[in-house]
Amino acid sequence: MTFNNSINSFNNFPLIRLRRNRKFEWSRNLIKENNLSVNDLILPLFIKEGNSESEKIESMPNVFRHTIDKAVLICNQAYELGIPAVAIFPVIEDKLKSEDGKESYNKDNLICRSISEIKNKVPNIGIIADIALDPFTTHGHDGLLINGKIDNDKTIDILIKQSITQARAGCDIIAPSDMMDGRIICIRNALEEEGFKDTQIMSYAAKYASSFYGPFRDAIQSSQKLLGNKKSYQMDPANSREAIQETALDISEGADMVMVKPGMPYLDIITKIKNEFNIPIFAYQVSGEYSMMRAASENGWLDFNGIMEESLISFKRAGADGILTYSALEIAIKLNNS
């Protein structure tokens, strides 16, 4: 049997030719199942002390630690491009770090001053603030380290104070990334009691103990201080059913939206959560993912905008409603010009 005869032996051929719909760009656009827009993007920002300075992060090319005044300018640029929100992370000076991370709930700390200034100068952009102790502790952990172990419940007491402090500063979305059990209900109740009933909670519901976080720890300057690892509270990369249970608990405790972190290695987790729950789901394209793609492009091996846009549409295809990505500004410019 010849090749042509073999093809013609199928009853559906030539009636069904899927390539017909792919022939022209306008046709491909008509049948596109998923679309990436500027509304899907959240820009993470690292903020440091000082004035009029943007400091390079060696392990994250084209990403910087900004002083508050510089961060305001970046936020204004993001707003003008149509990016809905920024997620801010503080770079805390060593002299302010302690074993108990008490600087995290100082009302005049770097993160609170950043929130207030951004909200004052760029009032219509959403502000997401991280809730965890790792930027503030001498040991680099997300919780209180007592006798060599993370104390879940005592950590929650600090996280509540941190959440209320950031809400008072004007934060729109509280984002607990610490992975302590029960912290969502405790934070939600505290926000209600303090009159912040409209402050949203974006729970890092499925945050894995990943090797992709290295450049982020460089960015906030905690990598050299981390004692041990975070495997006792962050999720095992081998587990997926556990992510469903974690998400179910956080939803029941009052989370308004949930996060999966990292992103691309955990697309299956995004899809499983999307299929299970009717709640907004966000993905964090973490520092290691970003830096790998940036490094490959800088070596001429891959086209950065091409692979970045393809990676972001994979999040949408998996079921994510939005994506935290360090490339948000570049991709927003590309989308606006397309």
pLDDT one-digit tens code per residue, 289-305: 999 999 999 999 999 99
Mean pLDDT score of the chain? 94
Q: How confident is the model at residue 155 (pLDDT cuts 50, 70, 90)?
A: very high
- Which of 309, 290, 297, 335 is CA-nearest to residue 83? 335
The pLDDT assigned to 1 comes to 43
Task: List the end-to-end C-alpha distance of the chain, in Å, as a whole number.
Answer: 47
**Predicted confidence (pLDDT) at residue 3 exceeds the cutoff of 70:** no
Determine contact, residues 287/212, Cβ cutoff 8 Å. yes
Q: Alpha-carbon distance 242 to 276, whole Å?
A: 13
CATH 3.20.20.70 for domain 36-337: yes
In 10 A of CB 218, how many CB atoms?
17
pLDDT one-digit tens code per residue, 116-154: 999 999 999 999 999 999 999 999 999 999 999 999 999
Q: How confident is the model at residue 338 (pLDDT cuts 50, 70, 90)?
A: confident
Q: Which two tokens stand for residue 229?
A: 């690892």
Q: How confident is the model at residue 241 (pLDDT cuts 50, 70, 90)?
A: very high
Q: How confident is the model at residue 109 (pLDDT cuts 50, 70, 90)?
A: very high
DSSP 278-338: -S-EEEE--HHHHHHHHHHHHTTSS-HHHHHHHHHHHHHHHT-SEEE-TTHHHHHHHHHH-
CA geometry: angle at 149 spanning 143 and 152, to 5°?
45
Main-chain phi, psi angles of 43, to 5 degrees: -100, 115
Structural element, H or E, at residue 206: strand 200-207
% of the chain surpassing 70 pLDDT: 96
C-alpha distances (whole Å) from 210 to each of 127, 170, 280 are 25, 31, 23
The pLDDT assigned to 10 comes to 59
The pLDDT assigned to 6 comes to 57
- pTM, two decimal places: 0.93
pLDDT one-digit tens code per residue, 14-62: 888 999 999 999 999 999 999 999 999 999 999 999 999 999 999 999 9
Q: What is the bridge-based pairing of β-strands 54-56 and 144-146?
A: unpaired
Annotated catalytic sites, by residue?
Answer: 207, 261
pLDDT one-digit tens code per residue, 200-216: 999 999 999 999 999 99
Q: How confident is the model at residue 251 (pLDDT cuts 50, 70, 90)?
A: very high
The pLDDT assigned to 41 comes to 98
The mean pLDDT value for 49-77 works out to 97
CA geometry: angle at 195 spanning 189 and 201, to 5°?
50
The mean pLDDT value for 67-90 works out to 98
